[in-house]
Amino acid sequence: MPRYAANLSMLFQEHDFLDRFDAAGRAGFRFIEYMFPYPYDAAELRDRLDRNGQRQVLFNLPAGDWAGGDRGIAVQPGREDEFRAGVQQALTYADVLYKGAKGPKLVNVLVGKAEGDEATTRKTVVGNLQYAADALADAGLTLIVEPLNPYDVPGFYLYGTQGALDLIDEIGRDNVKLQYDVYHMQRVEGRLTQTVREHLDRIAHIQLADVPGRHQPGTGEINYPFLMAELDCLGYGGYVGLEYIPEGRTEDTLGWLKTLQNA
């Protein structure tokens, strides 16, 4: 059975962020992910994890000015120093959040919206992610690259599984893997089961939400019981992050998960 992680950037939004750890704990979650730890003190985040017996499994590199429209800066020429400073900031947080952890220790990168010509953009993103991969490797961390979809994030540089795998090949580092977000990939390409069958060895993390609406499984078109059973049959050893927008209270949207776990 896949190990499910509560994404606290999306779930339990009826609570202040730091209180979401406790809410997730009461709902039975022992694995936690979220986008950005940086507004909070790393020791405070770790305390929230520890008091609920939880393990951090993923967070993102800094992504620039999120409120201003940035969705990552790895592709943007002229911001290399800012990107590298973000990598170092992430390492500082990882040292606290992942200290003593066993199993995958993941840092996700959103590469950002493309600006400028393709040759310069490609050189910039490859160089930045090589730098990030090398720095994370020294700390025993895995860098995961996440493609999105053009409907939710117009102008994003990386759409679809194959484009992400091609970029990972060009980066050429063993500790760079794919984050496979089922919601984004259903919107951009479909073929979910076939893709995980073909590329499971390159997928380090999976996230989910249903289509349309990005709500909990069972509200849309994706056959989640089949897909999760397939991951189990394939021997997927990573985590599945619940990165969906709850319809109502988060606790009231978890029936699908209880059904799968009791199947």
Active site residues: 146, 243
What radius of gyration do the chain's Cα atoms show? 17
Q: 212 preceded by cis ω (within 30°)?
A: yes
Strand ranges in the chain using DSSP code E only, listed in sequence order: 3-7, 31-33, 55-60, 106-109, 142-145, 176-181, 203-208, 239-242
- Beta carbons of 53 and 30 less than 8 angstroms apart: yes
Inter-axis angle of helices 255-262 and 224-234, nearest 10: 40
What are the backbone dihedrals phi and psi of residue 5, each rounded to the nearest 5 degrees, phi first? Answer: -115, 135
Listed residue (242, 246, 235, 245) closest to 257, CA to CA: 242
For the record, the structure tokens of 102 come out as 């066993």
